[in-house]
Amino acid sequence: MDVIYLNGPSGSGKTSLARALQDTLPNYYLHIGIDTFINMMPTKANCWDGTGPAEGFSWRSVDLPEGKKGMRVQSGEYGASVNDAFHACVLALLQSGQKLIIDDVADGKREVDRWLEELQPYSVFSVGLQCSIASLEHRERIRGDRVIGSSVEQYYRVHSGVNYDLIIDTDKHSAQQGAKIIATKIHN
């Protein structure tokens, strides 16, 4: 398998699962996600305090089902170009012979379809990570490095219209268990 594509809300366990996969799978896989690129961006490009749009990425308040408020990431022109660079880098790494675990928070079917189209020359195993809203809210609070309300907003959006090769519920499976399930599926 060339690519293991993980998609789920922030706090659903993608990074933990990616690390467990790296330890479990017999081949070497690089772990890459948009956070890698956001961490390379100049701080001044992004506005993470919710006070307004930015050239990079920023938060905006949105209404969620059941009258709740959430925070949704929005992209400025520079942020869109960084996201394009993320995609280009993934393709360059694959072209150089690297195997990848992509860690994503996609905007539903539209973004997942973009990935699948770009990755057509490669073997891809797609995994949706899900858990309860209560778990996402709890994980946001204890991590302390996430904007409250962002993972719940993503909960309603990331899997919309998407079909996966496998769905893992991280309320029921640890990262190590999930990695073993994926390893079994991709080697059968």
- Does residue 24 lie in a domain region? yes
pLDDT at 46 over 90: yes
Q: Give Cα separations from 155 to 27, 75, 135 (angstroms).
A: 31, 19, 11
- Does residue 61 lie in a domain region? no
- Does residue 72 lie in a domain region? no
Q: Is 12 annotated as a binding residue?
A: yes
pLDDT for the residue 8: 97
- Does residue 79 lie in a domain region? no
Number of domains in the chain: 1
- Does residue 164 lie in a domain region? yes
Q: Is 50 annotated as a binding residue?
A: no
Q: What single-letter amino acid sits at 15?
A: T
Q: 135: domain range? A: 3-38+91-186
- Mind listing the pLDDT tens digit for each residue in 103-145? 999 999 999 999 999 999 999 999 999 999 999 999 988 886 7
- Mind listing the pLDDT tens digit for each residue in 85-104? 999 999 999 999 999 999 99
- Does residue 140 lie in a domain region? yes
Q: How far apart are CA 27 and CA 38, in angstroms?
A: 27
Q: Is 11 annotated as a binding residue?
A: yes
pTM for this predicted structure: 0.94
Catalytic residues: 35
- Does residue 11 lie in a domain region? yes
- Mind listing the pLDDT tens digit for each residue in 58-91? 999 999 987 888 999 999 999 999 999 999 999 9
**What CATH number is given to the structural domain containing 161?**
3.40.50.300
Q: Is 10 annotated as a binding residue?
A: yes
Closest CA to 177 of 63, 2, 21: 21
pLDDT for the residue 188: 59
What's the sign of the alpha-carbon dihedral 94, 100, 104, 107? positive
- Does residue 119 lie in a domain region? yes
